[in-house]
Every structure is written in structure tokens, then in C-alpha cells.
Amino acid sequence: MQLLRGDRLAIYQGDIVVHRWVAENVLVSGQISQAIPVTPRLPIGVLAPGAIVALKNPKMRFMIVPASWDAAEVANPSSISFEVMEALR
């Protein structure tokens, strides 16, 4: 299997979900253990070796950054933009 730079992945451990990107192209071989570089770096001391990695359509738990969008009411449907931040728990 070929993982390409920028492919998304999610690491799950209990209630914790961490989202990362593959940092460089990697050809995944049949080895039992293989290093896959991700960016940004994984948090130290948060995940255990038994964590589950999802490579296909990882879901993201996030929260909207307070005050990053305008809550003014308008008469017609309109688009909004806002900032989100990954929520580990």
C-alpha cells in the first residue's frame, strides 16, 4: 500500500483522538512494524503502543474557537466562516 504525503490519519485511544498527516510518501510493506512519519509530531505521553490508527476517512472531533465567527442574524441564508481547533477529549 502506498501512503502519500498529506494523507490523513487518526489515532484513537479510548476517548482520545489525535489527527495527523503523513509527512512523506511511504510504501507500506508486509512488515509487522514499520515507521510512518507524521506531522505534526505526536504528543508525548498521551498515546500508548496499543492505540488504533485509522487510515481511511478519519473522523475529527473539534470545537469552534470562541469569537471566531459572527452570530448576527440575517434575513436570507448566507455562508459563515469560523475557526476550529482539534479537541483531544
* Model pLDDT, residue 24: 93
Q: What is the mean pLDDT of residues 8-15?
A: 88
Higher pLDDT, 17 or 83: 17
- CA pair distance 87, 73, nearest whole angstrom: 28
- One DSSP character per residue, the chain reads -EE-TT-EEEEEETTEEEEEEE-S-EE--S-SS----EESPPPTTT--TT-EEE-SS----EEEPTTSS-----SS-------EEE---
46, three cell numbers: 498521551
Q: Is the pLDDT of residue 33 over 90?
A: no
The percent of residues in the chain predicted with pLDDT above 70, rounded, is 76
The pLDDT mean for the chain works out to: 79
Residue 57 corresponds to which cell in the numbers above?
Answer: 476517512
**pLDDT, tens digit (0-9, with 9 covering 90-100), for 38-82:** 999 888 888 887 788 887 666 666 777 888 877 666 677 666 677
What's residue 88's pLDDT? 66
